[in-house]
A and B are shown apart, each in its own frame.
Chain A
């Protein structure tokens, strides 16, 4: 995932588990403890509770979403608009940070909320996912993605003029584990236009596997390792092509 470090890329981490209404409905009263620890660390928070969704925003950077069957934490850049009397608001520049730093922070926030939500108890998990969303100018597309686009254009002997591709492939099937990756590529054949790449890497457990606070940490780092390897391979262009 080294190539993500120089681009506008943001991570999201999430897990899916068997639907548990009891845990979900009994969480809001305990939410206060979690929010207290965050605010004690000097972070600003805002949260909304909906029918089946609790959404917490930390410092306007991390969005935590809790549902009866899943939990996810995503990072987004904070865009601050300054109000100017008599004028239109001024939007400040965003200082981009390398993806690996953002990912580390996201993991930390995820583990905090995980511990708080499952209260240190073991919990069965169906799926663990790491999502990377990258945007760049079409001219900056890494060689691996370029290769895929070229490969798709082979039957027409040209580049697609514009494309919106979404494809999921199984990567590894190993006993009780299946690893898949959803790729979404959107772009136009023009160097100055924007290009979006979404990589949604997932590890699925055929039968829900039980985890606790310590084993989930190990599992997440294992998933990050596996997904990073795949994303790097995808970006560099080390997947195999029959026409080579």
Chain B
């Protein structure tokens, strides 16, 4: 039984898979399975986790709040350090003395600070987001209702008239 070496969680199935990707990808032109000895492996570089053919583990869904808890634990103790580093790099940027490496570092620190900010207030802002969504939906419904009311023609008199004629005929 030829199996690739590091099989990982079969999470890939949960993600959108373009139609062009198929198992044919794992075979070479002659339709052979990827080889396993080093020399052959070097030729193909195909032996890898992506060829996972067994569902072995389940991966938890990405829960933002769990992730936030982790980010908070990891980044909060380093908050000062991150802000200080950012200040140094921003000053350099303003003085136009920043190197490419430092610029990358700055983007990375800002990413970390974003994550920290999200960890601190993300849950609340998510709630606000949801509230905004609900209110927007409500506003739309009300607008639609008002429009409908405006469009509606007063037909009550007509109906009454009809009823009256009918009853008159009956008499």
Contact = CB atoms under 8 A, between A and B. Distances in A.
B62 A76 contact: no
A188 B16 contact: yes
Nearest to A75: B57
A166 interface: yes
A168 interface: yes
Given A51-B1, A182-B50, A140 B7 contact: no
A94 B63 contact: yes
B8 A131 contact: yes
Interface residues of A, number: 67
Nearest to B57: A76
A77 interface: yes
Contact residues of A: prevailing secondary structure: strand
B41 interface: yes
Interface stretch (B84-92, B100-108, B144-152, B159-167): B100-108
Given A6-B75, A168-B45, A206-B38, A143 B111 contact: yes
A233 B103 CA distance: 13
A198 B49 contact: yes
Interface stretch (A9-17, A32-40, A115-123): A9-17
A129 B47 CA distance: 11
B63 A93 contact: yes
A149 interface: no
Interface stretch (A65-73, A210-218, A222-230): A65-73
Contact of B58 (A72, A74, A79, A184): A79
A136 B67 contact: yes
B157 to A, nearest CB: 52
Interface string A37-58: 0000000000000011101000
Contact of B59 (A14, A72, A76): A76
Interface of B: 1, 3, 5-9, 11-12, 14-18, 21, 36-38, 41-42, 45, 47-50, 56-60, 62-64, 66-67, 69-71, 73-75, 100-101, 104-105, 107-108, 111-112, 115
27 contacts: A3-B108, A3-B112, A7-B67, A8-B60, A16-B36, A52-B1, A74-B7, A77-B59, A94-B63, A98-B73, A131-B6, A135-B62, A137-B64, A142-B108, A143-B107, A164-B15, A180-B45, A194-B15, A196-B11, A198-B8, A198-B50, A204-B38, A204-B41, A207-B38, A236-B105, A237-B107, A244-B100
Given A8-B60, A196-B11, 17 more contacts: A12-B8, A53-B1, A63-B57, A72-B5, A74-B7, A76-B59, A77-B59, A97-B70, A127-B5, A143-B111, A144-B104, A164-B18, A186-B17, A194-B14, A194-B15, A236-B104, A236-B108
